[in-house]
Amino acid sequence: MKKNEIEIRIWDKGDNKMKYADIEHFDDMVGFRFEHKSIEADGEPDMIEIMLFSGRLDEDRKKIFDGDICSNEVAKWEIIFDTGCFCGKRINGSDGTQNTHLALRAIRGLRIIGNIYETPELLKTDI
């Protein structure tokens, strides 16, 4: 991965499937092409949710995107893009705290355990 390379994925509501982009570089632009089998999602921007790669890798070297749900020894975290930066929104903590936001770069030892679309049950506040 090159420094500052943009990567996105989408949740296709028509297919109920996560899709990752193939990046196409041109002289004056960068394009993203997705596998698109869903008739419902074709040309319908409200049928997809776009998620951006945070630039961070988890402990297993997997790319962390906004919308991922991660955990560490302290808490479960929903990764969000808020006010121009990636943050971890604490779902619950070992000390009982919830809904705290921390800059993603300040959270250590994260492992992706799911995402808000495929495993929404992980957003529940029990550990």
CATH superfamily entry for domain 8-123? YopX-like domains (2.30.30.290)
What is the pTM assigned to this prediction?
0.79
- Please give the radius of gyration of the chain, using alpha carbons only, rounded to the nearest integer: 16
Each domain of the chain, given as residue ranges in start order, spans: 8-123
Tokens of residue 98, six digits: 């919830």
The residue whose two tokens read 């006010």 is 83
Which tens digits make up the pLDDT trace of 22-79?
766 666 665 666 665 544 445 566 788 889 999 999 999 999 999 999 999 988 999 9
- pLDDT, residue 29, reads 62
Distance in angstroms (rounded) separating the CA atoms of residues 31 and 9: 13
